[in-house]
Amino acid sequence: MAGSQLKRLKASLRDQGIIGPQQSKKQKRKNAEDLKAKPEKRLQRGEALASIREQFNPFQFKTNARGPKFDVTTNKPAGDRASMGIKGRPGVAKAVGEERVRPALYGMPVARYCGLC
């Protein structure tokens, strides 16, 4: 059986090189200077974190409960994402919709509690 989600997260962060053993003050200062000189290291770290987030979020994809359909019942190609059972990303779609509506809804501050009312 696999370890807890926290243990798997720490192991994947360690494998990607994002975290490691504790460092002394001199080592931290030297690494901070190196990071300022190399912006591609920060981009690489961001890509690694994005892949880890995608790996650990089981609710990001909406899948077909019955599994993929047979080839004879659909006219879509076999390598298509929908034919494999992944329907969409409901979390991403909700966030995009909220960002679109936010200026209209939150343009003016709304008083949720009025002490005098």
DSSP string, 62-117: EE-TT-PPPGGG--S-TT-TGGGTEEE-HHHHHHHHHHHHHHHHSSS---S--TT-
- Does the model's pTM come out above 0.75? no
Per-residue pLDDT of the chain (117 residues; tens, 9 = 90+): 468 889 999 999 999 888 888 889 999 888 888 767 677 888 888 999 988 888 887 777 777 777 666 666 666 666 555 555 667 788 888 888 888 887 777 765 555 665 655
Domain with 8 in it: 1-18+26-56
Residues 44 and 84 in one domain: no
Identify any residues that bridge with 88 across adjacent strands, giving them in sequence order.
62
Nearest to 68 by CA among 87, 93, 90: 87
Q: C-alpha dihedral over 4, 9, 10, 16, to 10 degrees?
A: 150
Q: C-alpha dihedral over 83, 86, 88, 89, to 10 degrees?
A: -160
Structural domain contains residue 114: no
Structural domain contains residue 33: yes
Residues 68 and 80 in one domain: yes
Structural domain contains residue 35: yes
Residues 52 and 82 in one domain: no
Q: Domains in the chain: how many in total? A: 2
Residues 67 and 100 in one domain: yes
Residues 36 and 64 in one domain: no
